[in-house]
């Protein structure tokens, strides 16, 4: 039986379009952002593609990130640019290697359950801490601290990115 909090299905052009409840509070904003020039070329991931990645790496994508990938696709509305599954195939193993090194150099909370969701232009990674829901920057060539909070949760990050894409589109019009 489907959990309605997890997924709501809508019949769409003879197929099934998945709409996640995680994105519901910002769905209209996302639709508007993905309809901008910056949103062109963003295509939803397939369930199969995500499952293949998860099986290959023995990991589960965080629910809100997974929902965005399935419904809208990865986006590059600014920093951080979100990873598509194709990019995760190289970024995830790289992240594991980098994070192991960071753990050796810094005292990090044992509660952290980081998952890489995107990259910044200067080489840092955006991670979603699955224990707190916070979005953090894993700083490339970190000084005193390797992690910096950039959003309280995934929806706040996506709100910032979507508003940026919409603002850019308005400036172009």
Closest CA to 80 of 19, 170, 167, 164: 164
pLDDT of 60 strictly over 70: yes
Q: Which pTM was predicted?
A: 0.85
Class of 7-172 per CATH? alpha beta
Furthest CA-CA distance within the chain: 54
How many Å apart are CA 52 and CA 48, to the nearest integer? 6
| pLDDT score at 34 | 92
Give the mean model confidence (pLDDT) for residues 7-28: 60
* Helix residue spans in the chain (DSSP H): 27-34, 47-57, 63-71, 85-105, 154-172
> Regarding predicted confidence, which is higher, 17 or 150?
150
| pLDDT score at 166 | 92
pLDDT of 9 strictly over 70: no
Give the mean model confidence (pLDDT) for residues 160-170: 92
Residue with tokens 């603002």: 167
Under 8 Å between Cβ of 112 and 131: yes
pLDDT > 70 fraction of the chain, expressed in percent and rounded: 89
Q: Which residues contact 136 (CB under 8 A, 6 or more apart)?
A: 114, 126, 127, 128, 129, 147, 148, 149, 150
- Taking all residues of the chain, what is their mean pLDDT, rounded to a whole number? 87
Residue with tokens 């963003």: 42
How many Å apart are CA 37 and CA 172, to the nearest integer? 9
pLDDT of 16 strictly over 50: no
pLDDT of 128-160, one tens digit each? 999 999 999 999 887 888 999 999 999 999 999
Closest CA to 171 of 26, 161, 163: 163
Give the mean model confidence (pLDDT) for residues 27-43: 90
pLDDT of 18 strictly over 70: no
- What does the chain come to in residues? 173
């Amino acid at each position: 039986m489907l959990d309605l909090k997890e997924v709501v299905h809508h019949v769409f052009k003879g197929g099934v379009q998945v709409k996640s409840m995680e994105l519901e509070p910002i769905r209209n904003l996302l639709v508007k952002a993905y309809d901008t020039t910056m949103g062109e070329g963003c295509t939803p991931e397939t369930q199969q593609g995500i499952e293949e990645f998860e099986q290959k790496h023995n990991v589960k994508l965080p629910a809100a990130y997974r929902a965005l990938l399935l419904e809208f696709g990865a986006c590059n509305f600014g920093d951080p640019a979100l990873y598509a599954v194709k990019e995760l195939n190289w970024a995830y193993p790289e992240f594991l290697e980098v994070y192991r090194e960071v753990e050796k150099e810094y005292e990090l909370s044992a509660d952290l359950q980081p998952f890489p969701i995107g990259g910044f232009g200067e080489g840092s990674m955006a991670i979603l801490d699955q224990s707190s829901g916070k979005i953090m920057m894993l700083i490339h060539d970190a000084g005193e601290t390797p992690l910096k909070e950039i959003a309280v949760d995934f929806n706040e990050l996506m709100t910032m990115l979507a508003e940026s894409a919409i603002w850019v589109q308005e400036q172009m019009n």
